């Protein structure tokens, strides 16, 4: 049967001060009052039955997610005791699903992207499942049709169709984040897609590839899964999982496996991982100012992004290209072009105040 696993373990540091350990970014009601995880878990429904949608997240978030997603059983929320990158999250999810269903086909999807239109995504996801059901040894990834020469994404070099009439194309190579000139060459060639970080494969197939290319991860997740739903499962998880090598699924498996295909996904795809990307979801006034969750009074101000958790009034005079984020515990004010330094600020806050504000 078909399953989907939503990867929702990110801390969302670049969305501080709203995103904190107590309330990570995937649970923030950022999009029309809905959180990113709520949007993500609904996205595959129609291709995958809701009862077979799982969430893989940090152990600290399991209770919060269960409270805010009451339709999910405890068994559908997989908690990692610590972050060990995506090969381990994928491996653990696949190992557990293979115990639930020896013939499981699983999609690995993200919790922090906005994807439109939904029907295009659905058609591509359906094609992904069709591909691995016809070609069970193939690993399928999805490539976003690029709309500009992005330097912040990896790229997939697409090749010939996997089979006659197939939407899936053989992957020639994965490319790391390029410089601007290289990115322009990729986009103008028409041969490259953005690497979406979303996949479909048979659970047994990805486990076999992990066994081949990341044997320590394979041994660890299989031993953990052997105790799935036993009384000592959490003990085994806590003993083994933190020791697994920290590496991404792309580096560990996808770049090495000989049987990888990509399905082009011509959608609007936005990674809501920073205040800059979140601002892209907002409507600007005539001066380019944007606001969410607050009233913004902008006098002689341009390019202001103002966000509040409690409908605060934010007033600016004579400023431009400024990001302001207000919560009851903290307020961030920074030039928009320096918003990528928020991670450094969080580190500074931790060293000076401990975990109080983060």
Q: What is the CATH number of the domain that holds 135?
A: 3.90.550.10
pLDDT at 281 over 80: yes
One domain for residues 10 and 41? yes
Four-residue CA torsion sign, 229, 232, 236, 237: positive
| pLDDT tens string 118-159 | 999 999 999 999 999 999 999 999 999 999 999 989 999 999
Give me the domain span that covers residue 202: 2-271
CB-based contact 176:224 (threshold 8 Å)? no
**pLDDT computed for residue 40 by the predictor:** 97
- 328 found inside a domain: yes
pLDDT value of position 187: 96
Does any domain span residue 198?
yes
Same domain, 214 and 72: yes
Question: DSSP class of residue 283?
Answer: P
Q: In terms of domains, do 190 and 297 share one?
A: no
Q: Which of 182, 128, 125 is CA-nearest to residue 150?
A: 182
Q: pLDDT confidence of 3, banded at 50, 70, 90?
A: very high
Helix and strand counts by DSSP (H, E) for the chain? 11, 17
Q: Which of 211, 243, 271 is the last residue of a domain?
A: 271
Last residue of a domain, one of 271, 289, 305: 271
Residue 358 resides in a domain: no
- Where does the pLDDT of residue 41 fall: very low under 50, low under 70, confident under 90, or very high at 90 and above? very high
Q: What value does the mean pLDDT of the chain take?
A: 95
Say if residue 247 is in the same domain as residue 124: yes
> Given 241, 271, 301, which residue is the final one in a domain?
271
Does 169 lie in the same domain as 78? yes
- Same domain flag for 296 and 250: no
Domain annotation covers residue 73: yes
Q: Do 324 and 213 share a structural domain? A: no
Q: Cβ atoms within 10 A of the Cβ of 71, count?
A: 9
Beta strands 105-110 and 2-8: pairing type? parallel
pLDDT band at 165 (very low <50, low <70, confident <90, very high): confident
Instruction: List CB contacts of 153: < 8 A, sequence separation 6 or more.
Output: 144, 177, 194, 195
Q: Shortest CA distance to 305 belongs to which of 330, 328, 278?
A: 278
The total domain count for the chain is 2
Mean pLDDT of 80-95: 97
In a domain, 144, yes or no: yes
Over range 247-266, report the average pLDDT: 97
- pTM, 2 dp: 0.93
pLDDT at 287 over 80: yes
Q: Based on the domain organization, do 32 and 132 belong to the same domain?
A: yes
My answer on whether 105 and 212 are in the same domain is: yes
């Amino acid at each position: 049967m078909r399953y989907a696993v939503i990867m929702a373990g990110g801390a969302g540091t670049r969305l501080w001060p709203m995103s904190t350990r107590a309330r990570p970014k995937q649970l923030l009601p950022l999009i029309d009052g809905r959180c990113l995880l709520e949007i993500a878990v609904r996205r595959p429904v129609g291709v995958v039955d809701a009862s077979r949608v799982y969430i893989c997240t940090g152990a600290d978030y399991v209770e919060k997610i269960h409270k805010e997603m009451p339709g999910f059983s405890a068994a559908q929320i997989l908690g990692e005791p610590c972050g060990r990158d995506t090969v381990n999250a994928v491996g653990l999810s696949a190992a557990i699903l293979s115990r639930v269903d020896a013939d499981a086909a699983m999609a690995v999807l993200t919790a922090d992207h906005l994807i439109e239109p939904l029907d295009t995504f659905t058609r591509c996801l359906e094609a992904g499942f069709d591909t691995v059901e016809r070609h069970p040894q193939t690993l399928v990834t999805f490539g976003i049709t690029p709309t500009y020469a992005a330097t912040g994404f990896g790229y997939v070099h697409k090749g010939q169709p996997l089979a006659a009439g197939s939407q899936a194309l053989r992957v020639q190579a994965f490319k790391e984040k390029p410089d601007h000139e290289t990115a322009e060459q990729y986009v103008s060639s028409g041969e490259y897609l953005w690497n979406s970080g979303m996949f479909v494969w048979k659970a047994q197939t990805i486990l076999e590839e992990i066994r081949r290319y990341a044997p320590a991860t394979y041994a660890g997740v299989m031993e953990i899964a052997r105790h799935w739903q036993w009384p000592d499962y959490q003990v085994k998880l806590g003993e083994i999982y933190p020791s697994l090598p920290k590496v991404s699924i792309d580096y560990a498996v996808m770049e090495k496996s000989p049987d990888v295909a990509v399905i082009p996904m011509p959608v609007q795809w936005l990674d809501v991982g920073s205040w800059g990307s979140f601002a892209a979801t907002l409507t600007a006034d005539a001066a380019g100012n944007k606001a969410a969750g607050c009233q913004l009074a902008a006098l002689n101000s341009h390019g202001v992004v103002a966000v509040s958790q409690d409908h605060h009034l934010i007033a600016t005079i004579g400023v431009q290209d400024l990001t302001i984020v207000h919560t009851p515990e903290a307020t961030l004010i920074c030039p928009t072009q320096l918003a990528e330094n928020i991670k450094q600020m969080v580190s500074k806050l931790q060293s000076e105040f401990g975990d109080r504000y983060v």
